Amino acid sequence: MGWIIPSAGTPILFQDLVQAFLAVLDGSRAVQKFETFFQEYLGQRYCFLVNSGTTAFYVILKALKRFSNRGDVLLPAYTAPSLILPINATGLKPRLVDVSLETFNLDVEKTGLLLSWETLCLLPVHMFGMPCAMDELVDVSKNEGAFVVDDAASSMGAVLNGQLTGTLGNVGFYSFNRGKNLSTLSGGLICTDDPELALAIEEEREKLDAPNGLSKLGIAAKVIGLALAVRPWFYTLFKPVISGFKYTALHPDFAAHQYTGLQAALGLAIFQRAEQIFKVRTSNGLFLYRHLAGRKGLVLPKILPRSKPAFNQFPIIIEDEQKRDLILNEIVASGVEATVLYPYPIHEVYDLGYDLTEDPFPNATYLSRHLLLIPTHPIMRRDDLEKVVQVFDQHFPKMN
């Protein structure tokens, strides 16, 4: 029996863990240091760490509300459903926009039609680590006086026009949750260049509680688990246990807390290798792209010109819905944990008041039924990628 490659994975080394635990024992101001690190790395004047991407978005929304009475938040109908939680928690109204089946990201034209003087902010998401058309989206938002919150939760390291995703709006955020491009178990980062917004964000962040001693202990234990879980031998042997800790698609609520020093110290250690990790994500995705492009029955995403994706996973549309599960099972059986993230579009997860007798967001629904995701993290080796391509070879032969 071979080892299974997990669907998500940040390579955490033994020395990263040692460095993190020593730094905390030493009482170092790791959170502040990690924020300073990001100011430099992102080229943004203000950076704030919190306990999750969801909390980051929550803090941003609370800050934006201070500047405007508008109540609508526009977001893609196919993305992380948990984004609805902070919108509801701040008393704002989620308004969905359909996605494009070409780019798998927000449909720019439909976004323009839905933006209005009631729009507090637009939330463009760079799905699967592929930059979306931010230039156009920022332009149409500016015309309506709406803020742009750049959701780079799953696209850290991706670049558009020479700039990192997350830095392309008025304010942006990232996630360091398990499945993201780089993980410290959990975590969220807010960045902005706007001093007034930064002040409001800082005040809102101050209001968050520090995690208590028990949850800090829990985080410490899980951080060790995370480092082990990305080792295929460990993952294979302890899969039933690890599955219990996995991020489930829908959490009923979110806990907003501060980030921990241990995770910041771990992050500082892992980020020494960030460029390398993002580079492998890009090249693994492009390998799949090259080998699967131009096959009848598959649709690959259109990558924007002057963009460099940092693939969180590599997304593929399988036109024949019936075939998706078959392919998924065969890839998993070959030892690579492919997935079908977000099995439902947001309007099918939450009742947001839309009339569903005729699907208002058909492209989002289509993606949820047809997308298959292949891991691109650095634990995927060339022969793992080749195994995946071989499964496709059998069902979607190469055309000449």
Ligand X SMILES: *Cc1c(COP(=O)(O)O)cnc(C)c1O
Please list every residue from 163 through 222 that binds ligand X, using CB under 6 A: 175, 177, 188
Residue 376's identity, in one-letter code, is T
Strands 72-76, 119-122: pairing kind: parallel
> Least Å distance between CB 379 and ligand X?
19
> Least Å distance between CB 90 and ligand X?
15
Q: Which is nearer to ligand X, 7 or 52 (CB)?
A: 52
Q: Which is nearer to ligand X, 232 or 301 (CB)?
A: 301
Provide the b/e sequence for 187-225 (b: ≥16 CB within 10 Å): bbbbbbeeeebbebbeebbeebeebeeeebeebbeebee
> Least Å distance between CB 385 and ligand X?
23
Q: Are 303 and 105 in contact (CB under 8 A)?
A: no
Binding mask 111-140 for ligand X (x = CB under 6 A): --------------x---------------
> Least Å distance between CB 224 and ligand X?
20
Start-end of H helices in the chain: 14-25, 30-42, 53-65, 84-89, 108-114, 134-143, 195-206, 213-229, 232-243, 261-270, 274-292, 321-333, 346-349, 362-370, 382-395
Spatial separation of the C-alpha atoms in residues 345 and 363, rounded to whole Å: 9
Spatial separation of the C-alpha atoms in residues 278 and 275, rounded to whole Å: 5
> Least Å distance between CB 15 and ligand X?
25
Using a 10 angstrom Cβ sphere, with 0-12 exposed, 13-18 middle and 19 or more buried, the burial of residue 33 is: middle
Strands of the 119-122 sheet, one edge to the other: 46-50, 188-192, 171-175, 147-151, 119-122, 72-76, 93-97
| From 90, 103, 119, 154, residue interacting with ligand X (rule: CB under 6 A) | 154
Contact region with ligand X (CB under 6 A), list: 29-37, 149-157, 209-217, 285-293: 149-157
> Least Å distance between CB 65 and ligand X?
19
> Least Å distance between CB 82 and ligand X?
6
Q: Which is nearer to ligand X, 220 or 346 (CB)?
A: 346
> Least Å distance between CB 350 and ligand X?
15
Q: Which is nearer to ligand X, 187 or 232 (CB)?
A: 187
Binding mask 378-397 for ligand X (x = CB under 6 A): --------------------
> Least Å distance between CB 247 and ligand X?
7
> Least Å distance between CB 53 and ligand X?
2
Token output for 170: 């008025």
Position of tokens 């022969």?
Answer: 383
3-state secondary structure 35-94: HHHHHHHHCCCEEEEECCHHHHHHHHHHHHHCCCCCCEEEEECCCCHHHHHHHHHCCCEE
Planar angle of CA 6, 11, 14, nearest 5 degrees: 125
| From 7, 10, 44, 79, residue interacting with ligand X (rule: CB under 6 A) | 79
Q: Which residues pair with 371 in a beta bridge?
A: 317
Contact region with ligand X (CB under 6 A), list: 42-50, 78-86, 112-120, 289-297: 78-86
Q: Which is nearer to ligand X, 138 or 189 (CB)?
A: 189
Contact region with ligand X (CB under 6 A), list: 34-42, 77-85, 191-199, 294-302: 77-85
Q: Does 151 bind ligand X (CB under 6 A)?
A: yes
How many chain residues interact with ligand X (CB under 6 A)? Answer: 14
Q: Which is nearer to ligand X, 156 or 331 (CB)?
A: 156
DSSP state of 151: E
Residue nearest ligand X, Cβ-based: 53
> Least Å distance between CB 246 and ligand X?
12
Q: Which is nearer to ligand X, 79 or 284 (CB)?
A: 79
Q: Which of 226, 211, 212 is nearest to 176 (CA)?
A: 226
Contact region with ligand X (CB under 6 A), list: 74-82, 205-213, 354-362, 379-387: 74-82
Please list every residue from 323 through 352 that binds ligand X, using CB under 6 A: none
Sign of CA pseudo-dihedral 33, 48, 246, 151: negative
Binding mask 51-70 for ligand X (x = CB under 6 A): -xxx----------------
Binding footprint of ligand X on the chain (CB under 6 A): 52-54, 79-80, 82-83, 125, 151, 153-154, 175, 177, 188
